[in-house]
A = this chain, B = another copy of it.
Amino acid sequence: MAPPMELFDDEPTSTREAIMQATYAALAKHGYADLTIQRISDEFNKSKSLLYHHYDSKDALLVDFLGFMLEQMEADVPIQESGNAYDQLMSAFRHAFGELFEEPDFLRAVLELRAQAATDETYRRQFTANEEFIQSKLAEIVRNGIDEGTFRDVDPDRTAEMLLTVIDGAILRQATIDDVDVDVVRQELDAYVRSRLVTDDVEIDA
């Protein structure tokens, strides 16, 4: 299985990176509930004692993995300067839907980690910061779109929250129910942007 994020693909440059790659592989293979330190160490052919040298517990390792993965996702957000705000938003959606959705096993593992945030404060803080980061990036594109005249005079933060809610809903559905066609939501999101945001005097290709 090809990892969705480039760092998981590269030769690891540190022990931590090697552990993160092994955790990623074990999570995608076994899921959150069946993840064990043994299964993580199986993925990089090193001893369990090495893992315990770096982390006190499976939970500590997973918290570090979560931080690593979210940092990675944030660093990966494309900065597209060309085109108008509509093009930039579409590029952001392609990125969001592309990354996660091409890796159903990993998407499920991310959702399982995120569900921990329902009761675990540490997870909750990390996912909250990650969502705020993505929302601020989306709001920036909407704000630029209003300034350049591509978008109507909507509230950028509220609009960004709506866009992110759709992406989150797609993640929840894709990870937990059968036969979801994620292209339907991507196309409906496009239709939403056109009807709600794009001003009448801007030409958008069909």
Contact = CB atoms under 8 A, between A and B. Distances in A.
Contact of A176 (B34, B127, B165, B184): B127
Give the size category of A's interface with B: 35 or more
A168 B162 CA distance: 12
Contacts of A173: 131, 164-165, 168
A171 to B, nearest CB: 7
Contacts of A185: 161-162, 165
Contacts of A158: 184, 187-188
Which one of A109, A111, A119 has the highest number of Cβ atoms from chain B below 10 Å of its Cβ? Answer: A119
Interface in A56-91: none
A168 B161 contact: no
Contacts of A172: 114, 168-169, 171-172
Interface in A150-196: 158-159, 161-162, 164-173, 175-179, 184-185, 187-189, 191-192, 195-196
A115 interface: yes
Which one of A109, A118, A124, A164 has the highest number of Cβ atoms from chain B below 10 Å of its Cβ? Answer: A118
8 contacts: A32-B119, A117-B176, A117-B177, A118-B176, A131-B173, A158-B184, A161-B188, A165-B185
Given A161-B188, A169-B172, A196-B196, 13 more contacts: A33-B119, A111-B118, A112-B115, A114-B172, A115-B175, A117-B177, A124-B176, A124-B178, A128-B178, A131-B173, A158-B184, A162-B185, A168-B172
